[in-house]
Chain A
Amino acid sequence: MKKTNDNPTFESYNRDPKLFDEIFDENDNVRDIYKTLFNLYSEHSAKDFGRLNNKAKSSFFNQGITFQVYGDHEIKEKIFPFDLFPRIIDAQEWELIEKGVLQRSKALNAFLWDLYHDKNIIKEGIVPLELISSSANYLDQINGFDPPGGIYNHISGTDLIKHSDGKYYVLEDNIRCPSGVSYVICNRTALKRALFGVFNHYQAHTVTDYAENLLQILETVKPKGVDVPNCVVITPGIYNSAYYEHSYLAKAMGVELVEGRDLFVENDFVYMKTISGPQKVDVIYRRIDDQFLDPLEFKPDSALGVPGLMAAYKKGNVCLVNAPGTGVADDKAIYTYMPEIIKYYLDEDPILNNVPTYHCSRPDELEYVLENVHNLVVKPVDEAGGYGISIGNKLSKDEIEEVRKTLKENPRKYIAQPIMSLSVHPTYIEETECFEPRHVDLRTFTLLGADKEFVLKGGLTRVALQKGNLIVNSSQGGGSKDTWVLKNN
């Protein structure tokens, strides 16, 4: 590849014209926004990057920023691999993302309120009843309950990708206990340690203000009658893969990190055991799933939660963040209705694209799907962990016929979506000691409180380290990058 000029670390960088490359345009020129960075990186040799890469790695280990991988024989402590080449998002592009994710979070909040109150969107036939009644995540216990401040999804993690058409698409809204924000902050620190100089050439927004904003959000949803709320973070414990994040957030907010056994409920108030006696707790940022929150209400054998917590919550004496029951709104089937949900509650057009979805239950859409099976991903609507998904371009002729037959027999059960391709970004690969293109996505973090909202200017760019792999999950060997959102010039 000639366009990588004399930069030896880009020797084996092969741009795939079918994919959107974040730093090279279609003529193999470096995009404007990356030019300075690219030139700065050209000053380093491959050996330098190898050394910096190792330095960054040990910095993560030394800070204890690790997660555990459960293998066949042993549990391995691993770091979430960090990549030295940051992703840059300009101010204009970011404005769109920020408005878009905020719009989705607000729409989802309104949707949750409706699902747990009048259920108008279902009564009007916009979202099918079956999607809700078949959801194991709908909590009857909070039906008719008003969460403090009217907020359900205080914290939302929205996963975006850039498709080959250069546009952002939302893949998923995570509104249970989205994780990853601590990596955003650690990645910034790590890159500053490794290559401080590059920050002199770019005006990137800070990401370290997340914790203070999170604390403010928690304080906006304090129970009635409380002046200065006592907030805590509750974790399932040190064996949880996100424990580092739980402890980081508690420390950065200056609040206590607790486990279920540190709390108790008396007369429907929650208290924390301390050496100087019980201390009332008002707001709990919980990193425990709904089913483990309270053994009296949910899984009776769970020791992670606090017996009596739900009663305290329902009496309005404590606020849980995110609210129990949000899971009903973040499953695959609901995702396909997001454009309608946004329109219904906000009377706005969606700012960010949803991956277009064809419902085979609708005759004209079924026809299109039947003709285009080879170009589509066909999935069952009732999500069942990847079971029954067929990816069009990987099917043989016979298999395509098979899918068509199934669709005709049971159209209501299936939806279809175009095959999305994640954009690629230069990523340092240890084996070749070079930067190579790897697929990336972006998780953003949005906070909603009573009369306060915040979108972290940055995000977690996850990268699939295996060549050609589209799976960016950390458990599947994914890594991550520092993500810069530039200030307006």
Chain B
Amino acid sequence: MNLEYNIRYAAKNTYENEASKALWQFLIIPENNETQQLISDEFTNSLKIQVEESINGYNFRTYKIRPKERFDEVEFQADFKLIKRVENIFERVSLEYSKDEYKILRSLEFRVTNDVFLRSTALTKLPHQVEFQFDENISLFENLQNLNSWIKNEFTFKTNVTDIDTDLNHILEIKQGVCQDFTHLFIAIAKEFGIPARYVSGYLHQGNGYFGDSQMHAWVECCLPSSGWIGFDPTNNLLAAENHIKVAHGKDYTDCPPLKGVVFSSGKNETEYTVQVSAQQQQ
């Protein structure tokens, strides 16, 4: 069975004073992978500037826009159509406990191959030990599911208490945050144990009452020796599956913000954006 998604990303930037030069980079295009296929993408802007297609540092597709005239306001809109395959994740994941899994995890070969996603970054550095403990008598996957629910139980989803620079020290203290924060926390704990973990940015199916579905969502992918990269969504205590549409991944948020810009202007500026995601079952 497949799901057909229609995704709309709309953003509006306003500048207190007219800006003369800018370059915006949008990292919002769903990637093509084994479970999702992009059917169409369309991107427009109120300044009627031609859109360039490019890549970011990790080879994910981007849109780039470079206005040639002065502006104080600009609106962008992207529409994507996408087919998502509904897969049974348990066909890929082994639930069974195996000592070998831990052995491979600790092997030099595995650590070297996944080195990039084992390093801690400023946003994924654990300031101190947390209560969550890994149990080496159960499978890695089960451990990560436990971690997923531990975060969901211990922390409360709340907007406007954190921002993009909030570090884990603060999150652990206030026990509140949004999807980015919980994703960073999950990554930090997994890496500390030696499991390669990366930050995923994408869209979340709306209408199911999940947390974090009104904006771009964030979740985690962990590399398990037996099953490869598996997605965990600690904000909702879910496995990332047919409800999660991946755009890009990186070490942490700084590798995949949806919008990056270099703008030459003075004064304040504001960015607002919304996301609409709707799905239909495909026969």
Contacts and interface: CB of A to CB of B under 8 A. Distances in A.
Q: Which of A132, A141, A264, A307 has the most CB of B within 10 A?
A: A307
Interface string A249-271: 00000000000000010111000
A296 B65 CA distance: 13
B58 A119 contact: no
Interface stretch (B28-36, B110-118, B168-176, B230-238): B110-118
Nearest to B119: A133
Interface residues of A, number: 24
A224 interface: no
B115 A295 contact: no
A332 interface: no
Q: Which of A132, A266, A315 has the most CB of B within 10 A?
A: A266
A129 B262 contact: no
B108 A129 contact: yes
B25 A296 contact: yes
Nearest to A134: B119
A388 interface: no
Contacts of A386: none
Contacts of B23: 296, 307-308
A311 B60 CA distance: 10
Q: Which of A133, A268, A296, A310 has the most CB of B within 10 A?
A: A296
Interface string B39-59: 000000000000010111111
Nearest to B109: A123
A314 B54 CA distance: 10
A476 interface: no
Given A296-B23, A308-B54, A140 B251 contact: yes
| Chain B contact patch, size range | 20 to 34
Contact of B116 (A140, A307, A314): A140
Contacts of B54: 267-268, 308, 311, 315
B64 interface: yes
A264 B25 CA distance: 14
A440 to B, nearest CB: 40
A71 interface: no
A122 interface: yes
Interface in B233-267: 251, 260, 262
A129 B108 CA distance: 8
A125 interface: yes
Contacts of A129: 108, 111-112, 115
A300 interface: yes
A92 interface: no
Nearest to A132: B115
B112 A310 contact: no
A45 interface: no
Contacts of B81: none
A407 B262 CA distance: 49
B108 to A, nearest CB: 6
Interface string A279-297: 0000000000000000111
Contact of A300 (B64, B112, B260): B260
A54 interface: no
B66 interface: yes
Contact of B118 (A122, A133, A295, A296): A133
A143 interface: yes
A296 B55 CA distance: 11
Interface string B95-127: 000000000000011011101101100000000
Given A295-B262, A311-B55, A122 B112 contact: yes
Contact of B57 (A267, A307, A314): A314
A98 to B, nearest CB: 35
Contacts of B52: 266-268
A153 B251 CA distance: 27
A123 B115 CA distance: 11
Interface string A335-351: 00000000000000000
A-B interface, 7 closest residue pairs, ranked by CB to CB distance from nearest:
A141-B57, A307-B262, A307-B23, A311-B54, A297-B57, A140-B116, A122-B112
Given A266-B52, A307-B23, A307-B262, 14 more contacts: A119-B115, A123-B108, A123-B109, A129-B111, A132-B115, A133-B119, A140-B58, A295-B262, A296-B23, A308-B54, A311-B56, A311-B57, A311-B62, A314-B55
22 contacts: A119-B112, A119-B113, A123-B109, A129-B108, A129-B111, A132-B115, A133-B119, A140-B58, A140-B251, A264-B66, A268-B52, A268-B55, A295-B262, A296-B56, A297-B56, A307-B23, A307-B262, A308-B64, A311-B54, A311-B55, A314-B57, A315-B54
